[in-house]
């Protein structure tokens, strides 16, 4: 629940605003004595302060200063009478959130308050995340989405069993991270976790890597060599990109799964192995089975437990917390102290499609930590391709007219560039003279 304080020396105006707000479910306190307002602001934490600009004793500017001193996140909305618009602009420059001109339409006020409430929600959410990520360990699986919570539940259940697990997901969704977590929570945790990329080697090479070979098994096989299945004995082997294995290798893998036996290349003597197998595929393996490129019997052997990790764009809830996690990680690694991700930067991250999933997000944050010179990650330190696809830009601007929207956008951009018109115009994609004209039209000077 937001704490709102309304300050206007005109008692009727106070009542009107409190009524408008309470009809929408907001509760607001009000005072018509600006001196009392100062005391109230010093005593408690208000989220939103709606104040008249011109009042006896203490004016709106001083209210603004006091409100910000007692709660730096407080959003202050100025009420101005006709003819005092310059002071309202001045107030915005000094950190007021917005202004509204008397006489106003109740909807106009509600729109501002609604937008302020959304803004505050993001600020508080941002702070909460900042505190929360501090407690994460480096290899924790981070996420608050339903999907990630379910996956953590499955890991907890299957890790202690020796069951084979098949993990599916697009590139960069965290398949290897999940596999390591399963190993870490199993009875084999003290033994080796051995990742093998099945897509990186030719068939013959992969085969001799996995199963080892006898001396003279092929040209260049000068000595007998143990394979990875034997090396991983007692531990876990992680067969990554299993979808890229050939038909003949698939037969051999099937034998390992069925009999826990391998045969070194060039040998006919089976060797018993004791490994847990976790496999990963970045393509839908069932489709590969149906199209005939993957053996059905091997698929069923692998698919004892199935973990599907959805792409990041389908679990957007995880984006802010992951971003903070990586911010924390790379600040520590690169010895920088960036504490925060600005709200517009979070909005941009939320809106991007993340074809490279969590890995791509991690790279973007690492780069931003390197590039950023201020104390928070801002859109300026994000790569241009990310900024090309904003989240639904209209999501917070509904109920506005086109003119209001334009005025709002220009005002926000000017604020972002601290009034530098050349830069603001460039970011808005218009030339400076057009910007000047619009500033005049909307009285933003």
Ligand X SMILES: Nc1ncnc2c1ncn2[C@@H]1O[C@H](COP(=O)(O)OP(=O)(O)OP(=O)(O)O)[C@@H](O)[C@H]1O
Contact indicator for 111, 399 with CB cutoff of 8 Å: yes
Q: In this chain, which of 210, 358, 411, 428 binds ligand X, going by CB under 6 A?
A: 358
Q: In this chain, which of 9, 33, 90, 176 binds Mg ion, going by CB under 5 A?
A: 176
Helices (H), 71-187: 85-93, 106-133, 146-158, 175-184
Indicate the residue among 21 and 198 with the shorter CB distance to ligand X: 198
The tokens of 310 are what?
């959805």
Distance between CA atoms of residues 94 and 254, nearest Å: 70
CB neighbours of residue 6 within 10 Å: 25
- Could you tell me which stretch among 50-58, 261-269, 355-363, 427-435 binds ligand X (CB under 6 A)? 355-363
Is 233 a binder of ligand X (CB under 6 A)? no
Indicate the residue among 142 and 410 with the shorter CB distance to ligand X: 142
Residue carrying structure tokens 């001083």: 62
CB neighbours of residue 143 within 10 Å: 22
The SS3 call for residue 298 is helix
Task: State the binding partner of 364 from Mg ion, ligand X, none, CB within 5 to 8 A by kind.
Answer: none
The SS3 call for residue 101 is strand
What are the beta bridge partners of residue 239? 196, 279
Indicate the residue among 135 and 268 with the shorter CB distance to ligand X: 135
What are the beta bridge partners of residue 272? 261
Q: In this chain, which of 359, 367, 387, 421 binds ligand X, going by CB under 6 A?
A: 359
Closest CA to 68 of 41, 87, 89: 41
Q: Give the residue at shortest CB distance from ligand X.
A: 174
Least distance from ligand X to the Cβ atom of residue 39, Å: 47
Least distance from Mg ion to the Cβ atom of residue 195, Å: 8
Indicate the residue among 29 and 177 with the shorter CB distance to Mg ion: 177
- Could you tell me which stretch among 173-181, 358-366, 384-392, 426-434 binds Mg ion (CB under 5 A)? 173-181
Positions 159 through 198 that interact with ligand X (CB under 6 A) = 169, 171-177
Task: State the binding partner of 14 from Mg ion, ligand X, none, CB within 5 to 8 A by kind.
Answer: none
| Exposed / middle / buried, residue 175 (Cβ in 10 Å: 0-12, 13-18, 19+) | buried
Distance between CA atoms of residues 104 and 291, nearest Å: 65
Name the strand (E) or helix (H) holding 271. strand 270-272
Contact indicator for 35, 56 with CB cutoff of 8 Å: no
Is 282 a binder of ligand X (CB under 6 A)? yes
Is 310 a binder of ligand X (CB under 6 A)? no
Task: State the binding partner of 358 from Mg ion, ligand X, none, CB within 5 to 8 A by kind.
Answer: ligand X
Indicate the residue among 15 and 171 with the shorter CB distance to Mg ion: 171
Beta-carbon contacts of residue 206 (< 8 Å; ≥ 6 apart): 196, 198, 245, 249
- Could you tell me which stretch among 13-21, 112-120, 136-144, 198-206 binds ligand X (CB under 6 A)? 136-144
Least distance from ligand X to the Cβ atom of residue 358, Å: 3
Interface with ligand X by CB under 6 A: which residues?
141-143, 148, 169, 171-177, 240, 282, 322, 358-359, 362
Interface with Mg ion by CB under 5 A: which residues?
176
């Amino acid at each position: 629940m937001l704490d709102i304080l309304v300050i206007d020396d005109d008692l009727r105006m106070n009542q009107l605003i409190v009524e408008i707000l309470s009809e929408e479910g907001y509760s607001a306190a009000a005072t018509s004595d600006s001196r009392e307002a100062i005391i109230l602001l010093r005593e408690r934490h208000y989220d939103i302060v709606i104040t008249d600009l011109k009042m006896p004793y203490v004016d709106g500017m001083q209210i603004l200063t006091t409100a910000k001193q007692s709660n730096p996140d407080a959003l202050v909305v100025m009420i101005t009478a006709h003819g005092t618009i310059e002071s309202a602009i001045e107030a915005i420059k000094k950190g007021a959130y917005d202004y509204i001109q008397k006489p106003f339409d109740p909807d106009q006020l509600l729109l501002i308050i609604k937008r302020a409430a959304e803004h505050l929600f993001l600020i508080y959410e941002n702070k909460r995340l900042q505190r929360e990520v501090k407690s994460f360990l480096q290899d924790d699986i981070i996420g608050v989405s339903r999907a990630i919570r379910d996956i953590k539940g499955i890991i907890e259940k299957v890790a202690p069993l020796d069951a084979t697990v098949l993990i599916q997901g697009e590139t960069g969704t965290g398949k290897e991270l999940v596999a390591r977590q399963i190993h870490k929570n199993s009875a084999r945790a003290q033994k080796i976790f051995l990742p093998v990329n099945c897509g990186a080697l030719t068939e013959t090479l992969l085969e001799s890597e996995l199963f080892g070979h006898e001396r003279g098994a092929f040209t260049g096989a000068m000595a007998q060599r143990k394979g990875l299945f034997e090396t991983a004995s007692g531990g876990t082997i992680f067969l990554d990109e299993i979808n890229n294995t050939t038909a003949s290798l698939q037969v051999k893998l099937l034998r390992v799964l069925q009999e826990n036996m391998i045969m070194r290349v060039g040998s006919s003597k089976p060797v018993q192995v004791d490994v847990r197998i976790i496999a990963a595929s970045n393509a839908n393996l069932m489709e590969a089975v149906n199209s005939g490129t993957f053996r059905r019997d091997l698929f069923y052997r692998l698919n004892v437990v199935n973990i599907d990790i959805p792409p990041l764009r389908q679990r957007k809830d995880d984006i802010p917390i992951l971003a903070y996690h990586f911010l924390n990680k790379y600040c520590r690694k690169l010895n920088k102290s960036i504490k925060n991700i600005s709200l517009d930067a979070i909005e941009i991250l939320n809106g991007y499609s993340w074809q490279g999933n969590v890995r791509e997000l991690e790279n973007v944050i690492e780069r931003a930590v390197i590039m950023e010179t201020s104390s928070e990650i801002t859109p300026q330190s994000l790569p241009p391709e990310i900024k090309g696809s904003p989240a639904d830009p209209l999501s917070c601007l509904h109920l506005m007219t086109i003119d209001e929207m334009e005025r709002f956008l220009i005002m926000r951009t000017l604020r972002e560039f601290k009034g530098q018109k050349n830069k603001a115009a460039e970011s808005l994609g218009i030339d400076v003279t057009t910007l000047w004209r619009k500033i005049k039209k909307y009285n933003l000077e």
